[in-house]
Amino acid sequence: MSDQIRASHILINHADAPQANTEVSAKNAKAQIIKLKEDIEAGTPFEQVAEEHSDCPSASQGGDLGSFGRGAMVPEFDQAAFDLEIGDISKVIETVFGYHIIYRTE
């Protein structure tokens, strides 16, 4: 297994996430990210969904986070990203920033 991977993600912040600054409830944020995952599964390009909906600054790059090694991201994100095969999209995960969908690109 590689020490470095490359991934993109979509982040939806919610008010209960300690590292988020938003009024959106966790319930509404989760419903939104589930809908976005369904859109991707129905054929909308991941990059397009990220650009249009992600709360992360990486949205302007289609959610691309570049290459990173183990331990560079918060534990839940790190585990989910490294568990993916190239080309796979994660289930919805929650971190201190909110809800994420991760797409492993390399």
SS3 92: coil
- Going across the sheet that includes 98-104, the strands are 64-69, 4-12, 98-104, 93-95
Specify the pairing of strand 4-12 against strand 98-104.
antiparallel
- Tally the domains of the chain: 1
pLDDT for res 38:
98
pTM listed for this prediction = 0.95
Question: Quick one: CA torsion of 93, 98, 101, 102, rounded to 10 degrees?
Answer: -90
Range of the domain at 22: 4-104
pLDDT for res 8:
98
Question: In this structure, what CATH number is given to the domain that contains residue 95?
Answer: 3.10.50.40
pLDDT digits (tens, 9 = 90+) for 28-66: 999 999 999 999 999 999 999 999 999 999 999 999 999
Tell whether the model's pLDDT for residue 1 goes beyond 60. Answer: no
